[in-house]
Chain A
Amino acid sequence: MIKLTTPITENAIRALKVGDEVLLSGKVILSRDTGHKFMVEQKPDWLKPILEDAVIYHCGPVVAKNADGSWRFVSSGPTTSIREEPYQADVLETYRVRGVIGKGGMGKKTSGGLQKVGACYLHTTGGAGALLAERVKRVIDVKMLEEFGSPEAFWIIEVEDFPLVVTMDSHGGSLHEEVLATSQDRAKALMG
């Protein structure tokens, strides 16, 4: 088990390989469909200091407001990452993000971005919303909540020992491509 803390250096992320298990602590920024389109089309500068050397998490959480007005994550597992395939490589390059957390894996364009920038795709268990919310220490801030709505907003959180597996590394490796190829071969055999 490898412990990683944000801000993450390029060397630290380039040392990771497909299959490595990681416990991540530090600053994570949630973003999904609306946020990715927005980042690529508007490229807002105010996001740069927030995202540099940090990690993006494809997640739309269930949140609750505490009595003191602060936010709490109730359930917060990953959403399907492949929808961000058209945008992810651009986002990686523009904002120098060191990692992308999600589920289901991403494609060749993103893999190219990971290699160029020095970043990894970090997989976590889909559907484990209650369990993963326990690893969220606090909500630091939220941006674009009014504009995007709660599931799509940029939630900025601090996590502790967030459990991840490297499934796409900065050297072109992808567990998802391997499983896809194997299953396609098997399907061909089954179909006769």
Chain B
Amino acid sequence: MTSCPVPVLTSAEVVEGKSVLPKGWCANLANPTSLDLQPAVLELLRRTTSRLPQDIIDALVNGRNAEAEGSRGANTMDTMIENVVLADDHGAPLCQDTGTVIFWVRHPLGVSQRLVKTQIRAAVVEATKRSWLRPNCVSAMAGKNLGNNLDPFFETHPVIHFEEWEHPGIEVQVMLKGGGCENVGAQYRLPDAALGAGRDFKGVRKCIIDAVVKAQGQGCSPGILGVCIGGDRVVGYERSKELLLRKLTSENPNAELANFEKALLADLNTLGIGPMGYGGKTTVLGLFVEELWRHPASFYVSISYMCWSSRRMTLRVAADGLAVFE
């Protein structure tokens, strides 16, 4: 069996060369009222929309090489990998669905969340103007699209989660979560009589298998699953999505869950759904499972599905104010 050539993205120098962040840009963390993160967040969005993380690319290559040579699955994954290289080279959005734009901001005491929110929203507007993001925010009933990617009430888009932490620097993580994969997410309430699923690992496993079979290729398989056991309906879903920020190479610190993930991942890849639901061996690239404390009466299994084009990136602004993207 021949394997696909390892795709090579443009070098760090080329990426830096295209940066919209002014040379020597530095955030003034000593004086949080004059903090301006907008240029750094704009650069974060430029990179995220066009450049897939290396761990995802490596998993796509492994998945491609698991498919039979000349099969529709292998050809489809060749197309995916070709698209990854092309989008990076052109600085074009990997996928036209640049998703719901979701941010997680961790900041020290003294940083104004209202200020940062305004700056993030301004960066999203500018990224949309530059065709790095599709205007993906419409009013619910009328479907009105303002074209700037903002909801006018500062409520739903972009989504921004804030958390104060003890470190002196700021971290901004972003995820572009496409609508197709969002639609195949699922939440189960155990016990589930129809599935024959109880409140144990066997029951959780049934929920996850069921969700992947129901998703077929519609969430753009091979997908990545974030699964949260417990919490309430909102926190469970929130955490399941946050899990998708993890690198595929990261190990679950809970040994029992790590073993559960590994065994189930192998099983899911025997379902035969394959890339884009064409049939094949690569249905899921990764699986992250976490548990949260819950109400005694409620046992939720919340599943977020991420498409193969898992666009996520982190901006770190250290105490010295310099920006790093990874």
Q: Do A and B bind each other?
A: yes
Chain A residues within 8 Å of B, Cβ to Cβ: 34, 59-64, 74-77, 79-80, 82-83, 103-105, 123, 125-131, 133-134, 148-152, 163, 165, 167, 175-176, 178-180, 182-184, 186-187, 190-191
Q: Is the CB of A103 within 8 A of B220?
A: yes
**Which bracket fits the contact residues of B?**
35 or more
Chain B residues 252 to 284 lying within 8 A of chain A, measured CB to CB, are 267, 270-274, 276-279
Q: Is the CB of A79 within 8 A of B180?
A: yes
Q: List 26 A-B contacts (CB under 8 A).
A: A61-B96, A62-B98, A75-B92, A75-B98, A79-B180, A103-B218, A103-B220, A104-B180, A104-B217, A104-B277, A123-B278, A125-B83, A126-B95, A126-B307, A129-B96, A130-B50, A131-B82, A149-B143, A149-B147, A152-B145, A167-B278, A175-B279, A176-B277, A179-B216, A182-B279, A186-B272
B309 at the A/B interface (Cβ < 8 Å)? yes
Set of chain B residues within 8 Å of A186, measured between Cβ atoms: 270-272
A128-B95, A130-B92, A187-B210 given; 16 more Cβ-contact pairs under 8 Å: A61-B134, A75-B92, A79-B180, A103-B276, A104-B277, A125-B83, A129-B95, A130-B50, A131-B86, A149-B135, A149-B138, A178-B279, A183-B272, A184-B213, A186-B270, A190-B267
For the complex of A and B, 3 pairs with smallest distance between CB atoms: A149-B145, A104-B218, A130-B87
Set of chain B residues within 8 Å of A61, measured between Cβ atoms: 96, 134
| Chain B nearest Cβ from A126, distance in angstroms | 4
| Chain B nearest Cβ from A115, distance in angstroms | 21
Q: Is the CB of B92 within 8 A of A149?
A: no
B314 at the A/B interface (Cβ < 8 Å)? no
Set of chain A residues within 8 Å of B229, measured between Cβ atoms: none
Stretch at the interface among B28-36, B72-80, B152-160, B288-296: B72-80
Q: Is the CB of B93 within 8 A of A75?
A: yes
Q: Is the CB of B93 within 8 A of A130?
A: yes
| Chain A nearest Cβ from B244, distance in angstroms | 15
A163 to B276 Cα, complex, angstroms: 15
Set of chain B residues within 8 Å of A178, measured between Cβ atoms: 279
Set of chain A residues within 8 Å of B94, measured between Cβ atoms: 75, 127, 129-130
Set of chain A residues within 8 Å of B271, measured between Cβ atoms: 183, 186-187, 190
| Chain B nearest Cβ from A180, distance in angstroms | 6
Q: Is the CB of A191 within 8 A of B86?
A: no
Chain B residues within 8 Å of A, Cβ to Cβ: 50, 72, 76, 79-80, 82-83, 86-87, 90, 92-98, 131, 133-136, 138, 143-145, 147, 179-180, 183, 195-196, 205-206, 209-210, 213, 216-220, 267, 270-274, 276-279, 307-309
- Which single member of A82, A126, A151, A152 contacts B276 (CB below 8 Å)? A126
| Chain A nearest Cβ from B205, distance in angstroms | 8
Set of chain B residues within 8 Å of A79, measured between Cβ atoms: 97, 179-180
Set of chain A residues within 8 Å of B131, measured between Cβ atoms: 62-64, 74
Nearest B residue to A184, CB-CB: B213
| Chain A nearest Cβ from B122, distance in angstroms | 20
Q: Is the CB of A127 within 8 A of B278?
A: no
Q: Is the CB of B180 within 8 A of A34?
A: no
Set of chain B residues within 8 Å of A180, measured between Cβ atoms: 213, 216
A187 with B213, Cβ < 8 A, contacts A62-B134, A125-B79, A151-B135 known: yes
Q: Is the CB of B97 within 8 A of A131?
A: no
A60 with B96, Cβ < 8 A, contacts A127-B80, A129-B83, A175-B279 known: yes
Set of chain A residues within 8 Å of B72, measured between Cβ atoms: 165
Q: Is the CB of A62 within 8 A of B96?
A: yes
A127 with B83, Cβ < 8 A, contacts A176-B277, A183-B272, A187-B210 known: yes
Set of chain A residues within 8 Å of B213, measured between Cβ atoms: 180, 183-184, 187
Q: Find the residue from B134, B143, B210, B272 having the highest chain A CB count within 10 A.
A: B134
Set of chain A residues within 8 Å of B97, measured between Cβ atoms: 60, 77, 79, 129
Q: Find the residue from A83, A130, A184 having the highest chain B CB count within 10 A.
A: A130
Q: Is the CB of B276 within 8 A of A74?
A: no
A59 to B144 Cα, complex, angstroms: 18
A152 to B134 Cα, complex, angstroms: 11
A34 with B143, Cβ < 8 A, contacts A104-B180, A105-B217, A128-B80 known: yes
A128 to B95 Cα, complex, angstroms: 6
